[in-house]
Structure 1
Amino acid sequence: MEDFHAPASFDLQGADLRALRRARGLTLAALAQRVDRSVGWLSQVERDRSNASPDDLAALADVLDVSTSSLLAVSGSTEEAGKIVRPHTRRPIGNRTAGLTEALLSPDLTDDFEVIHSRFAPGARLDHAVSRPTQEIGYVVAGRFDLWIDGTLFQLSPGDSFRLRGDLFRWANPYPETCEIIWVISPPVY
């Protein structure tokens, strides 16, 4: 598979901000209060009628528990916007786990699901089990992967797929090669 590329320029995606706010169960008023801005300003940002400063963007990302890159779209062809995602226009998704690199394959976060391309470097691991209020399907494209679902270890190889429905899970790549997985997640969480 191709390498993830650092995009040249970004624009705040108001519709994605709205989708993430709703997915977190926050009203406009609640999010505006948490970032110390007015409801009117936030409404304007969500409708792409106003811009967020870098500080506002960081505050929004912090409250929504996502990376700032999750709120940004890469500038590209107007006719392809919302339909086509080229390798150089993929949004990198920041994360807090060493050895994990992710990019959004979906054009945006406005659908009922998102598609993510994840790369797990050799030795990468999530040591503590997590659970998300989502339904997820993963497909192993390359490499091998250890996945614990509700405490049971599953060793996965290329062509294997799995499902998570709010289960406690953790993962590790103890193997010498990078593992690549395509995820479909509903509702969008990034």
Structure 2
Amino acid sequence: MTQTAPRTLGADLRAVRRMRGLTLQDMAQRLDRSVGWLSQVERDLSEPSITDLRHMAQALDIPVSALFGRPETPPEEAGLIVRKSARRPIGSGQAGLVEELLSPDLTDDFEMVHCTFAPGARIGEPVSRPTQEVGYLVSGQLDLIIGGRHFSLSPGDSFRIRGETFDWSNPHDVPAQVIWVIAPPVY
């Protein structure tokens, strides 16, 4: 049996940088840092400061929270299991949406996210991104507009978005919980 190496901050940074199509040189220039320093960070030989992490998150267009909150995981579970109590918060938390990473890290070809849409929550403006996304409504109700078409979802319903512009809202009195899979990852 092959043992999966535990994923680290450096591995996540490298994976997201590559997903964004950036070379070490590109990223180093955006950060006004040396390629050597960035390479050491990605190989976990050097720890970036909080300010460095903020600049990296900005350069990668991800929330800085995606780089924090790596809870202790037993070695035999690292890279394989994510316990409910160890989910990593991602996203900005704005617009009444709380997102938690269900995937063990950010290094796969997709990411799986647990989304909780607060009652009355609404996205600020429609989203368009070059991804394929599917979701499954676990509880509550959620309204989606995909490519200009309106849909009201109930528990057990699922959806797919293939690069279309989409919008969401929860005009209801209870939270909506969705399991959302995005490829390639956006966080």
Same fold (TM over 0.5): yes
1: CA distance between counterparts of 2:98 and 2:66?
13
C-alpha distance in 2, partners of 1:156/1:78? 39
* Equivalence for 1:135: 132
Corresponding residue number in structure 2 for 1:41: 37
61 and 12 in structure 1: CA distance in 2 versus 1, 3 angstrom threshold: farther
Corresponding pairs, count: 180
The residue that corresponds to 1:28 in the other structure is 24
Q: 2:95·2:124 contact (CA, 8 Å) conserved in 1?
A: no
Q: Within the alignment, does 1:125 sit opposite 2:126 as a pair? A: no
Distance in 2 between residues matched to 1:136 and 1:82, nearest whole Å: 22
- Does the CA-based 8 Å contact 1:12-1:51 persist in structure 2? no
Kept in 2: contact 1:12–1:52 (CA 8 A) = no
CA apart distance, 1:80: 1.2
Q: Which runs of 5+ in 1 are unaligned?
A: 1-10
- Which among 85, 90, 93 is matched to residue 90 of structure 2? 93
Q: Secondary structure of 1:82's partner? A: coil
Percent identity, aligned pairs only, is 61
Aligned equivalent of 2:99: 102
| Residue in structure 2 matched with residue 113 of structure 1 by the alignment | 110
155, 158, 162: which one aligns with 1:161: 158
| Residue number among 146, 169, 172 corresponding to 2:169 in the alignment | 172
Shift of 1:124: 0.6
* CA spacing shift, 1:25–1:96, aligned 2, 3 Å: farther
User: In the alignment, is the contact (CA less than 8 A) between 2:93 and 2:99 conserved in 1?
Assistant: no
In the TM superposition, what is the alpha-carbon distance from 1:123 to its structure 2 partner? 0.8
Report the structure, 1 or 2, having the larger strand content.
1
More off after superposition, 76-85 vs 146-155: 76-85
Matched, 1:184 2:185: no
**What TM-score do the two structures reach when normalised by structure 1?**
0.90
**Is 2:63 the counterpart of 1:74?**
no
Q: 3-state SS of the aligned residue for 2:11?
A: helix
Among 48, 55, 70, the alignment partner of 1:52 is 48
Q: What amino acid is aligned across from residue 92 of structure 2 in structure 1?
A: N
Preserved CA contact (<8 Å) 1:121 1:179? yes
8 Å contact 1:67–1:95 — kept in the other structure?
Answer: yes
Cα distance, 1:68 vs structure 2: 1.8
1:145 aligns with 2:127: no
Q: Report the more deviating stretch, 138-147 or 90-99.
A: 90-99
Deviation at residue 46 of structure 1 after TM alignment: 1.0
Q: Please report how far the alpha carbon of residue 12 of structure 1 lies from its aligned counterpart in structure 2 after TM superposition.
A: 5.7
- Alignment deviations for residues 87-136 of structure 1 (CA, whole Å, 9 cap, x no partner): 12110013263210010000001111110000000111114211111110
**1:74 Cα shift?**
2.0
Deviations 1:32-81 (A, max 9, x none): 11111111111111111111111101110111111222123222212211
Q: Tell me, what secondary structure is at the counterpart of 2:113?
A: strand
